[in-house]
Amino acid sequence: MNNNADAVKLARRENHKGINSSSFLFDQLLSVSFDQTFLSKRKVWRKSLVGKYLLMTAVIGWFLVLIVLPVYGIVKKAFQNGLTLFITSLTTPAAIHSFVMTFWITIAAVIINTAFGIILAVVLVKHKFRGKLLFEGLVDLPFAVSPVVAGFMFIILFGPNGWLGSWFEAHHIKIVYAFPGMLIATLFVTLPFVAREVMPVLLEFGLEQEEAAYILGASKWQTFWKVTLPSIKWGLVYGITLTIARSIGEFGAVLVVSGSIINKTQTATLHIHQEFTDYNYAGAFSAAIILAFASFIILTTMQCIYGRKGIH
Amino acid sequence: MNKTFPHFTINGSDFALRGLAFFYIGLLIILPIIALSFKALEGGLSTLWTNIITPQALYSLKITFITAFVMIILNIITGTATAWVLVRYNFPLKNLMNALIDLPFAIPTVVTGIMLVALYGPNSFVGGFLGKYGIEIIFDKPGIILALLYVSFPFVVRAVQPVLLEMEPDMEEAAKTLGASQFTIFFRIVVPTLLPAILTGAALSFSRAIGEFGSIVIVSGNIPFKTQVASVYVYGELESYNQQGALGLSIVLLLCSFVILVLLNLLQIWSRKHEQ
């Protein structure tokens, strides 16, 4: 039963990648019967069973040591010196300021990249133009570029002597080492998520219904709100969740662009880095726990949405 | 009334939409890359080259590629095995484990670094124990590899899992009845089928590894000629207001990103052909 639920989930993921997976249930059935014939020969059965349990133990052991044990390690360290120290290091002005900063950057990044993500997805799925493949590759680029290099690019472009920066400088608008620059860096690293999650859903569900609505006389705007948006809803929500996770967690690009000024341009991740380099481990561990907890919530949300993404 | 299918004609609103998309990508991706390239070539190619071949920059590149390579080998083996166990076997809490595979994607990289220090650092229970035997993990290369393994763990697993799920067992079955050993079946049938997926996962891991910054800056200690990786070198140069020095490796890292993106697209084409 479990296996089938997994199969459905994975097959959906695959569908989003555009790979044909129409016969996954059939495959699943086949693999069951395969297992039975496999197990019917006693000698093979015993041999494969030993291998099976060895492999299972090794994989689960590796997973526990690599992924789960560090989470335990940090929980233990953060509460080592009591709850009071945990709370006092989280309520310093610098810590509070950094979390508020992360909050606003995340909100702004989600709003802007949701809007542009939908636009990018619509253009990439429905429009035909020359160089579309290249355009698609450019949308993926932030996945591949090192965050430090990304931050550096924005310093060059928006710095006081940069092509765009000099214009802003003349109009007394600060971009680099200020909120706008940090937002731009976050926008860059989170740009692909909404577009990439909405594209496959749009490809699969949107078109015919939209055409029908259009023929029946709905305006483009009406078609978008009443037909397109509901059909891409879960893909969109999934993309937004990924955007939130990355916005909260972004470090390298924001560090370079912000200059990491305490109480001014520090986000939560920069605050953790600051505390760590200042040897204030209690502060670093406590703030890290909060972000780790946020990641668990995000992960749970992702899992819940995943099941619904394909169902409308 | 001139209403045709929306995607057959280009009218004003479509044009505006496309304009917005081009503007956003232009502003956020194309223009910054052009600005960086211009800046890098401002002083001529030879200046750029001398910035790349300083001993410290070259050493940091070497560390980056060596740690990435070790990580990829380990990740290919463990990732494929994990996908195999998750698809083919049943055990208690399997769904929980399957969900937690994505944890490294959700956790901020700085937090990953802090977690590894908390567990393997000099004053922690695992790190303290290993320290007695002279094994240093944090502030040394094993820490970098560990951090890379953590942040890129899901890539191979999530690439291989769907292919494994769809793989038809009749070939394995046929080989079995014809008397092939498990070893032969694995290397002659299973591995070739999974190869495009494994390579895709490996390429994604590699792209992540050469750019990775947050977790490494915490665990490595950033000691030049010992644990300083390329991205941390770029950051160090920027910190000391030496933009020229940062440009060299930035261009190298950017070129690596391009190459990997092209490679990934080729892999996708290959795996589609592979399926038919």
Binary contact (B108, A291; C-beta < 8 A):
yes
- The predicted model gives A49-65 an average pLDDT of 92
Residue B151: phi and psi, rounded to 5, are -70, -20
pLDDT value of position A38: 46
pLDDT for residue A39 is more than 70: no
Query: For B28, which of A56, A148, A191 is closest by C-beta distance?
Result: A191
- As a whole number of angstroms, the distance between CA A142 and CA A150 comes to 8
- The predicted model gives B142-150 an average pLDDT of 96
Q: Are residues A63 and B97 in contact, defined by beta-carbon separation less than 8 angstroms?
A: yes
Q: In whole numbers, what is the pLDDT of chain B averaged over residues? A: 90
pLDDT value of position B187: 85
Closest-CA residue of B relative to A250 is B108
Query: What are the DSSP calls for A98-113, one per residue?
Result: HHHHHHHHHHHHHHHH
- As a whole number of angstroms, the distance between CA A179 and CA A61 comes to 44
Amino acid at the residue A290:
I
Confidence bin at A77 (pLDDT 50/70/90): confident
What value does the CA radius of gyration of chain A take, rounded to a whole number of Å?
24
Q: Measured between CB atoms, does B237 come within 8 Å of chain A? A: no
- The predicted model gives A84-92 an average pLDDT of 91
Confidence bin at B172 (pLDDT 50/70/90): confident
Confidence bin at B9 (pLDDT 50/70/90): low
- The predicted model gives A236-264 an average pLDDT of 94
Confidence bin at B10 (pLDDT 50/70/90): low
B97 contact residues in A (CB cutoff 8 A): 60, 63
Class of residue A24 by CB neighbours under 10 A (exposed 0-12, middle 13-18, buried 19+): buried
Give B190 to chain A, closest Cα distance, Å: 14
Query: For B89, which of A52, A220, A248 is closest by C-beta distance?
Result: A52
B105 contact residues in A (CB cutoff 8 A): 245
pLDDT value of position B177: 86
- As a whole number of angstroms, the distance between CA A159 and CA A257 comes to 9
pLDDT value of position A311: 42
- The predicted model gives A208-218 an average pLDDT of 83
- As a whole number of angstroms, the distance between CA A192 and CA B25 comes to 11
Quote the tokens at residue A309: 């993404």
pTM of the model: 0.87
The pLDDT tens digits of the residues spanning B208-241 come to: 999 999 999 999 988 999 999 999 999 999 999 9
Q: Are residues A224 and A35 in contact, defined by beta-carbon separation less than 8 angstroms?
A: no
Task: Tell which residue, A107, A256, A268, has the closest CA to residue A190.
Answer: A107
- As a whole number of angstroms, the distance between CA A169 and CA A252 comes to 24
Fill in the DSSP letter of residue A205: I
Give A272 to chain B, closest Cα distance, Å: 7
Chain centroid offset of residue B231 CA: 14
The length of chain A is 312
Fold of A83-309: MetI-like fold (1.10.3720)
Contacts (Cβ under 8 Å, ≥6 apart) of A126: A202, A207, B6, B7
Q: Which of A191-205, B172-186, B245-259 has the lowest mean pLDDT?
A: B172-186
Q: Taking the CA of residue A15 as centre, how many other CA atoms within 13 Å lie in the half-sphere pointing to its CB? A: 21
Predicted-complex ipTM score: 0.91
pLDDT for residue A43 is more than 80: no
B120 contact residues in A (CB cutoff 8 A): 73
A295 contact residues in B (CB cutoff 8 A): 103, 106-108, 111
Give A253 to chain B, closest Cα distance, Å: 9
Amino acid at the residue A309:
K
pLDDT for residue A289 is more than 90: yes
- As a whole number of angstroms, the distance between CA B60 and CA B250 comes to 12
- As a whole number of angstroms, the distance between CA A28 and CA A12 comes to 14
pLDDT for residue A71 is more than 90: yes
Q: Domain ranges for chain A, please list them.
A: 2-78, 83-309
pLDDT for residue A269 is more than 60: yes
pLDDT value of position B50: 92
- The predicted model gives A1-7 an average pLDDT of 47
pLDDT value of position A221: 83
pLDDT value of position B167: 83
Confidence bin at B123 (pLDDT 50/70/90): confident
pLDDT for residue A290 is more than 90: yes
Please state, as a whole number, how many other Cβ atoms lie within 10 Å of the Cβ of residue B18.
Answer: 17
Q: Are residues A254 and A276 in contact, defined by beta-carbon separation less than 8 angstroms?
A: no
Quote the tokens at residue A197: 């999650």
B106 contact residues in A (CB cutoff 8 A): 245, 249, 295-296, 298-299, 302
pLDDT for residue A20 is more than 70: no
Containing H/E element for A300? Answer: helix A281-308
**Torsion sign over Cα B69, B70, B76, B79:** negative
Distances from the Cα of B96 to the Cαs of A2, A60, B140, in angstroms?
11, 12, 33
Confidence bin at A203 (pLDDT 50/70/90): confident
pLDDT value of position A32: 41
Give A36 to chain B, closest Cα distance, Å: 11
Q: What is the 3-state secondary structure (H, E, C) of chain B?
A: CCCCCCCCCCCHHHHHHHHHHHHHHHHHHHHHHHHHHHHHHHCCHHHHHHHHCCHHHHHHHHHHHHHHHHHHHHHHHHHHHHHHHHHHCCCCCHHHHHHHCCHHHHCCHHHHHHHHHHHHCCCCHHHHHHHHCCCCCCCCHHHHHHHHHHHHHHHHHHHHHHHHHHCCCHHHHHHHHCCCCHHHHHHHHHHHHHHHHHHHHHHHHHHHHHHCCHHHHHHCCCCCCCCCCHHHHHHHHHHCCCHHHHHHHHHHHHHHHHHHHHHHHHHHHHHHHHHC
A38 contact residues in B (CB cutoff 8 A): 173, 176
Amino acid at the residue A263:
N
Binary contact (A291, B106; C-beta < 8 A):
no
- The more confidently predicted of residues B4 and A113 is A113
Q: In whole numbers, what is the pLDDT of chain A averaged over residues? A: 84
- The predicted model gives B233-261 an average pLDDT of 94
pLDDT for residue B56 is more than 90: yes
